[in-house]
């Protein structure tokens, strides 16, 4: 991993200024990584909020205007928008600029973006594995990436110099940087993030559909398990729709394996196979301990989570 102080960018352009984009902007300012930070956002309210919070110097409706003169451009919109945005900004990208992204899917991102990257511009796909269920520019905070992983997935348009530069950038704002192929990334994230989100959306929807359990009872008797499912299921619906549509092969493969394992547990419950259940629960408890020991969670009660705040 790159440990050297990264070179200071003259202009960082963030396309999309939601939770991740605004957190990057704050981190760039906190660590003094750019002379100027600008953003592009579709809605006037979002641009106004970003300016009022002073997390950017300028906010544009047209992403082409934002990338002019930028030596680092970061796509922070939903993955499904990447192709159109890359096509739009491609001709306006400055020679020598570094283009990257924050999408939770990588193979499809490379497929969507790379054809529109002009010669003389580097593209290195990336995924900071961090976030909350909150959204919008007011939801961001500079320490979101501290101690979290950022995965770089180099491709044909990635030079070694650009990879090293992006590695140094993410390291400077607190991330641990790893590199892997886009395909391997998508398989890993399918089981660690995408399928768990799909299960959360499904279980919360199932509870809401139950006729014999009123909504008030579901809320009143929400123990830790269901409560944590609702936290995950509160994530941005546009972003997650795009993730599943753009990582369908890996997600379907992991869902197939999950379904087989769930069927085995169903059978163990039906036939009273207590030893099978105990062994499974013991194994998964050990995995939980490994996650805490790796610094990816906390051992505090309720995993250190506070009450769900009102939307900003």
**Between 304 and 250, where is the model more confident?**
250
**Between 63 and 218, where is the model more confident?**
63
Q: 129 and 31, same structural domain?
A: yes
Q: 53 and 84, same structural domain?
A: yes
Residue 299 predicted with pLDDT over 70? no
Q: 219 and 170, same structural domain?
A: no
pLDDT, mean of residues 255-274: 93
Tokens of 309: 């705040």
Last residue of a domain, one of 124, 156, 180: 180
Q: 246 and 207, same structural domain?
A: yes
User: Which pLDDT belongs to residue 30?
Assistant: 95
Map 245-308 to HEC letters: HHCHHHHHHHHHHHHHHHHHHHHHHHCCCHHHHHHHHHHHHHHHHHHHHCCCCCCCHHHHCCCC
Q: 156 and 238, same structural domain?
A: no
CATH number reported for the structural domain that contains residue 215 in this entry: 1.10.3660.10
DSSP E strand boundaries for 11-52: 12-15, 37-40
- Work out the burial of residue 307: count CB atoms within 10 Å of its CB; fewer than 13 is exposed, 13-18 middle, 19 or more buried: exposed
pLDDT band at residue 2 using 50, 70 and 90 as cut-offs: very low
Distant-in-sequence contacts of 260-268, Cβ < 8 A, 24+ apart: none
Residues 127/131/137/138 CA torsion (nearest 10 deg):
-160
Residue 281 predicted with pLDDT over 60? yes
CB atoms within 10 A of CB 189: 22
Tokens of 247: 């990582």
CB atoms within 10 A of CB 43: 9
User: 143: closest CA among 169, 165, 175, 168?
Assistant: 175
pLDDT, mean of residues 287-300: 68
User: Which pLDDT belongs to residue 136?
Assistant: 87
Q: 204 and 176, same structural domain?
A: no
**Between 202 and 134, where is the model more confident?**
202
312 domain-assigned: no
Q: 171 and 208, same structural domain?
A: no
76 domain-assigned: yes
Residue 302 predicted with pLDDT over 50? no
pLDDT, mean of residues 53-79: 97
Question: Which percentage of the chain shows pLDDT scores above 90?
Answer: 67
Q: What is the tally of structural domains in the chain?
A: 2
User: Which pLDDT belongs to residue 234?
Assistant: 83
Read off the pLDDT of residues 112-136 as tens digits, 9 standing for 90 and up: 999 999 999 999 999 999 877 778 8
Residue 84 predicted with pLDDT over 90? yes
Residue 309 predicted with pLDDT over 50? no
Q: 118 and 218, same structural domain?
A: no
Domain span including residue 248:
184-304
Cut 0.75: pTM above it: yes
Residue 247 predicted with pLDDT over 70? yes
Q: How far apart are CA 11 and CA 3, in angstroms?
A: 22
User: Alpha carbon of 93 to those of 12, 65, 118, 177, 194: distances in Å?
Assistant: 12, 10, 8, 26, 32
pLDDT band at residue 301 using 50, 70 and 90 as cut-offs: very low
310 domain-assigned: no
Q: How far apart are CA 140 and CA 75, in angstroms?
A: 16
Last residue of a domain, one of 124, 158, 180: 180
Read off the pLDDT of residues 55-65 as tens digits, 9 standing for 90 and up: 999 999 999 99
Least confident residue range of 85-99, 228-242, 261-275: 228-242
Last residue of a domain, one of 180, 211, 246: 180
Read off the pLDDT of residues 133-185 as tens digits, 9 standing for 90 and up: 778 899 899 999 999 999 999 998 899 999 999 999 999 999 999 999 999 99
User: Which pLDDT belongs to residue 215?
Assistant: 59
């Amino acid at each position: 991993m790159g440990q050297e102080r990264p070179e200071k960018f003259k202009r960082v352009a963030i396309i999309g200024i939601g939770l991740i984009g605004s957190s990057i902007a704050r981190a760039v300012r906190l660590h003094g990584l750019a002379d100027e930070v600008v953003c592009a956002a579709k809605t006037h309210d979002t641009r106004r909020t970003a300016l009022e919070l002073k997390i950017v110097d300028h906010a544009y409706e047209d992403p082409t205007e934002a990338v002019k003169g930028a030596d680092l451009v970061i796509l922070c919109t939903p993955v499904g928008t990447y192709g159109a945005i890359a096509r739009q900004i491609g001709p306006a990208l400055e020679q020598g600029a570094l283009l990257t992204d924050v999408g939770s899917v990588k193979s499809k991102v490379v497929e969507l973006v790379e054809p529109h990257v002009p010669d003389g511009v580097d593209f290195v796909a990336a995924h900071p594995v961090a976030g909350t269920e909150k959204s919008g520019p007011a939801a961001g905070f500079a320490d979101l990436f501290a101690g979290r992983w950022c995965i770089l997935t180099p491709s044909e348009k990635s030079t070694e110099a650009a990879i090293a530069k992006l590695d140094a950038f993410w390291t400077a704002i607190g991330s641990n940087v790893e590199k892997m192929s886009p395909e391997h990334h998508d398989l890993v994230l399918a089981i660690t993030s995408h399928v768990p989100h799909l299960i959360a959306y499904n279980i919360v929807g199932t509870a809401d559909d139950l006729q014999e359990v009123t909504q008030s009872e579901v809320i009143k008797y929400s123990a830790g398990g269901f409560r944590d499912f609702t936290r995950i299921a509160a994530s941005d619906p546009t972003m997650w729709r795009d993730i599943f549509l753009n990582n369908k092969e890996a997600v379907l493969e992991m869902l197939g394996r999950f379904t087989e394992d769930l069927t085995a547990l169903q059978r163990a419950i039906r036939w009273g196979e207590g030893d099978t259940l105990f062994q499974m629960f013991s194994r998964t408890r050990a995995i939980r301990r490994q996650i805490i020991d790796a610094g990816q969670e906390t051992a505090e009660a309720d995993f250190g989570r506070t009450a769900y705040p009102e939307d900003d």
